[in-house]
Structure 1
């Protein structure tokens, strides 16, 4: 089924793939595609740039298995300026019994860079994390090192026992452009 809606001159296309159980949402704007894929029962709450500093005291929720997302959303966007200390990603909610804890795998696919510490060329970072059903979960990346400032397509995928729960693509912009100023960041 294809449904087309025009909102503020942006075309959103929603595709439900028959039999696959995966819902794909593609955002087409100015000839540039962004992709959001969500499994049934997964809701994308926010995507974009998040505050670099935690929105609550570091150990305020240390005793909680499922603390609230630690970073506040600053701007909803799929276009991310490459700048040190900038944090981007998304917040999702997974259906299930409230408080049910799931171990998830986070994969961040990015343009190839050379890690000077490990002396390796890398295209993907992977780590384990926790998500709690019925609660908001933050998944994202922070540019920590100069060599991570790789312009191009970045995709963050969340897996549960190998099954894809969410996949969100972002366009990371060249670190030298004027666009850095519109996000309140100093140009590199």
Structure 2
């Protein structure tokens, strides 16, 4: 399995109610100002135009809040909404994270970034570029090829916020443009991120071009 399929923190926090989901239908609303705890980017593509030039999709998410945050980033292909990649992203206060979805050399799509924000797994893989995978849809009847990953949509889900004095907040905060992440004395991990979580405070917005 691809090492970038990271669900442990998401599952732990969701199980603890950190996503703030309730059984009532009116618990979910759309913020007219574009801020919230869940962002849905309705379409990405790396398909080619009529001249054979492939598109790139450029993704951004902004933390407008004064507390650090953990978010789940999920990429889903467009045919049957099967997940093709996910990872945990940590935003320091007032942080901006950017990445590009570009064609891969394997016939599908991949994500690449120059951003230093912390991730689990470690950000070094994303900087080199991570291919989208077909594990989630092989055998579903929609075709097993990686070409299915060439278009789809993105979900970013807020999992937790962190007070400024706890370890997770400190190691994900940018100092001269670079956070400590996994190089800290107490390195970032699923366990530390779960233990330091202090609810959710919203304040995310983003865009894709």
TM-score (norm 2): 0.27
Quick check: which one's helix share is greater?
A: 2
TM-score (norm 1): 0.29
- Which structure has more RCO (C-alpha within 8 Å, separation ≥ 6)? 2
Quick check: which one's strand share is greater?
A: 1
